[in-house]
Amino acid sequence: MITTEGHSAKEILASWDAWLSSPPGKYALKWEQGQFNQAVADAFGFEALQIGLPQLNCLSENRIPNKYVLITPQDMPSAEKIAKISGQICIGQVNELPFATDSLDLIALPHVLEFAENPHEALREIHRVLRPEGRLVISGFNPMSLWGARQSLGKLFGTPFLPRESQFISHIRIKDWLKLLDYSIDRGRFGCYRLPLKNENGMESMGFLEKAGDRWWPILGSLFMLSAVKRVPGMRLVGKVQTKKTRLRRLVPAANSSTTNSASLEQISEVNKDHLNDHA
């Protein structure tokens, strides 16, 4: 969780924790856990990092040996929650990550950009520490969804559905940012099509909307997940390089000098004989 301007860290953390403990929050966490499990399963390397949201174990299905979870000083969870975190805990800020340049192979960002003061700057800092060909996995709320519409109306009337401090960033905008940084997006997914209800019975009764939404209106899912690979532009040879091989010509042996001289003398004598006969 990254604090935003105008709100204290305690207020944001309390609001976020309360929402994650609610029926829609648990529903969202379950979907995101499954998506992160699939996205990070085939990532390889030596160093992996999850930034924020310790309630979600984004790296549980990954086999990278060294795993870290970055938590800001303002968002330090309780001792009970720290004990459930899988990986080494790091204290720092998303705009000043305590890692060397090109040192991480995998980075997971669950709802990080939505709570950052400057999400574009935060993404550039994440780009700095990620190795070339490293993987970046991002999740967030989709503003073009029923939950997004409910949140916009709720803010007008003082009853937001999601944490008030979150700022929606569409997946299209994030994809544009990633393309500017030379990332290649290899997969993406929308999910959570149930209505924005706060009671558990109501959420459970809307289970039939999952398959219908995934088939008929996938872009209207309340959550999205993007997976991208960091590319480094450069010269690349494509195909087989054709090389010319110089062949030496076959040498023809020169004629014998003695044979050539004798043949020339015989020709001269014959010419002289013909000349004398003509005069006779």
Task: Quickly tell me which residue has 């990620």 as its tokens.
Answer: 130
C-alpha angle 131/132/134, rounded to 5°? 65
Q: What is the pLDDT of residue 85?
A: 75
Is pLDDT larger for residue 58 or for residue 258? 58
Model confidence at 125, in pLDDT bands (50, 70, 90)? very high
Number of domains the chain contains: 1
Question: Do the domain assignments include residue 61?
Answer: yes
- Taking only the tens place, the pLDDT of each residue in 49-78 is 999 888 899 999 999 999 999 988 766 666
- Separation of alpha carbons 191 and 196, rounded Å: 13
Instruction: Let me know: does 31 contact 192? Beta carbons within 8 Å.
Output: yes
Q: Which two tokens stand for residue 230?
A: 């960091």
Instruction: Let me know: does 83 contact 22? Beta carbons within 8 Å.
Output: no
Q: Which two tokens stand for residue 97?
A: 């990550």
- Considering only CA atoms, which of 64, 229, 53 is closest in space to residue 133? 229
C-alpha pair distances (Å), 259 with each of 140, 226, 255, 267? 96, 88, 8, 13
- Separation of alpha carbons 98 and 88, rounded Å: 13
Model confidence at 5, in pLDDT bands (50, 70, 90)? very low
Instruction: Let me know: does 158 contact 141? Beta carbons within 8 Å.
Output: no
Question: Do the domain assignments include residue 273?
Answer: no
- Considering only CA atoms, which of 258, 37, 49, 247 is closest in space to residue 134? 49
Question: Do the domain assignments include residue 180?
Answer: yes
Is the alpha carbon torsion for 39, 41, 43, 45 positive or negative?
Answer: positive
Q: Which two tokens stand for residue 76?
A: 């330090």
Taking 60 as the threshold, does the pLDDT of residue 271 lie above it?
A: no
Instruction: Let me know: does 125 contact 113? Beta carbons within 8 Å.
Output: no
- Separation of alpha carbons 56 and 33, rounded Å: 7
Question: Do the domain assignments include residue 168?
Answer: yes
Question: Do the domain assignments include residue 256?
Answer: no
- Taking only the tens place, the pLDDT of each residue in 151-192 is 989 888 888 898 877 788 999 999 999 999 999 999 999 999
Taking 60 as the threshold, does the pLDDT of residue 215 lie above it?
A: yes
- Taking only the tens place, the pLDDT of each residue in 108-119 is 999 999 988 899
Count CB-CB contacts under 10 A for residue 249.
Answer: 5
Q: What is the pLDDT of residue 52?
A: 87
Question: Do the domain assignments include residue 251?
Answer: no
- Dihedral-angle region of residue 239 (phi above 0 means left; psi in -120 to 50 means alpha; beta otherwise): left
Question: Do the domain assignments include residue 123?
Answer: yes
| Beta pairing class for 183-191 and 47-51 | unpaired
Task: Quickly tell me which residue has 């006779």 as its tokens.
Answer: 280
Question: Do the domain assignments include residue 48?
Answer: yes
Does an H or E element contain 17, and which? helix 9-20
Three-state secondary structure call for residue 151? helix
Residue type, 52: G
Query: What is the overall mean pLDDT for the chain?
Result: 83
Count CB-CB contacts under 10 A for residue 193.
Answer: 25
206: domain CATH number is 3.40.50.150
Q: 65 lies in which domain range?
A: 9-230
- Separation of alpha carbons 249 and 235, rounded Å: 37
